Structure 1
Amino acid sequence: MDKKQIDLMKNGRGFIAAMDQSGGSTPGALADYGIKETEYETKAEMFELVQAMRTRVITSPSFSSDYILGAILFKHTMNNKMEGKYTAEYLWQEKGILPILKVDQGTEEKENGVQLMKPMTELDNLLEEAKKHNIFGTKMRSVIHSANPKGIKEIAAQQFEYGKKIYEAGFIPILEPEVNIESDDKLESEKILKEEILKLLETLDYEQYIFKLSIPSQPDFYKEIIEHPNVVRLVALSGGYSQKEAVDKLSKNHNMIASFSRALLQDLKVDQSDEKFNQVLKDAVSKIYQASIT
């Protein structure tokens, strides 16, 4: 692991851009961008369109290391090029932004109030590919829908189990046990999750993790996690909040930075001129950055 990169993620001012829409979420991302499903026929065409969208975002002068620490990529993006370089290499070499790879294979059906991650049968091969592209870290997501202690304990244990394997392979893992923002008992879920995370952190030796969590119902609720010596950073997912909602809520949480997708990209459109596109992106980046440095 590169100590310079770890120091940048731990102490740098900025946020993480989530650019990792995969097969299931790509049609929605393209639709928000102004490309309807009727405009492509195959998955290959769909991925080419989303690659063009991501390329436009990442190569924009508004997508700058002055404000952005890292970017989360999908496998297809990692294996494609921007301006003659593979995306991860372009991010780090040209932009000074840390490349991070989504590694989960989706979630299981809901059970005990949660959706665990599906078994990661492709993880070893994916990590080998990631090494070739000098990926800094990984991200994996599971979802908590209700305050079920059994389910939340299983979620936390699974995240830590895969996190240890990923860390030992040479990457900084982002553990993302998302709490559904529409949950009727969101705060109670957060209390159980926090307790489980703190217990499991005490079992670690030298491992270093990043946590990506829903913006908590109570400001600064995750302070103990942020301050734990095994935690590199705590980042927030926007979870379906609009940009304004996400920014307002995040700004109330000290030392918690953004890792937004929809809230970052929501106002970008395929038919915007480059001047308009870059300005809209600059405005979004500025708002999210300001909320991330509180």
Structure 2
Amino acid sequence: MWVLFTLMAAFMQAWRNAFQSELSREVSVAGVTLARFLYAAPLAGLYLWLLYQWQPVEPLELNPRFTGFVVGAALMQILATGLMVKLFQMKNFAVGAGLAKSEALVAAVLGMLFFGTHLSLLGWLGIALGAVAVFLLSSPGSWRQLAPATVLLGLACGTAFALTSLWVREASLSIDLPFPHRAAWVLLLVLSLQTLLLLSYLSWRDSATLVALWQRPRLTGLTSLSSCLGSIGWFSAMSLQAVPYVKTLGQVEVFFTLLIANLWLKQKVRVKDMLGLVLIALAAIIVMWF
């Protein structure tokens, strides 16, 4: 079942990234970040309510460990989304999404350092391949023309997403409920906190961005819908399986991204970019499976 949830998540995340990329041409980074959460929280609430209608269980009992991981994941995902939007503005859609996929490699390293995961020699080879892939994707022209700022931004984005995933799993494991209810509670609370924080910030500092989102209901709604469906998939899969395995299978998002970039956004992906994206997927597979 975790495989099906992960495939759904990867497909919906590729579309969410595409919608965010389009929205970022007309709306600020904070606004595009809010679009990801704005309508997703009510949808997550509806999903949780339907779960309780289908399988009534005990209500959620909060504990400090759960609360800490939820707050940490919410804040880190806001940061990760903002960094990814900046990547879209620096590179094209496919390349920006590819740089953000360093998440899988960073999650493996953090898992080894803090969650007892051990990497073999082949695992470290996978990390090296991933580094090469990031360099390829960050080069605007020839392979020798590297952009250190883009590389660092991509790695920062991947790290923030990796921490989000690890903390989401820890939050889910810290409550005693069936897996779909655990995932749904984490999803609802994370999205609600993110929406509240961003709405408060933009109302205070940049109300024009809220108006801009209101004037673009189609893209805003599609971004929120695809984000919510993708998050249901990710959170459910990570409640059932360890983050490294989920993120390994989730690399199929790279190929969904290439298809969307070519067929829907009409963006040309260079051979070098395709090679970099494939290397990221290969590196992640090596790291996780060996």
Answer yes or no: same fold by TM over 0.5. no
Q: Where is the strand percentage greater, Structure 1 or Structure 2?
A: 1
TM-score, normalised to structure 2, is: 0.29
Q: Where is the helix percentage greater, Structure 1 or Structure 2?
A: 2
- Which structure is richer in relative contact order (CA contacts within 8 A, separation 6 or more)? 2
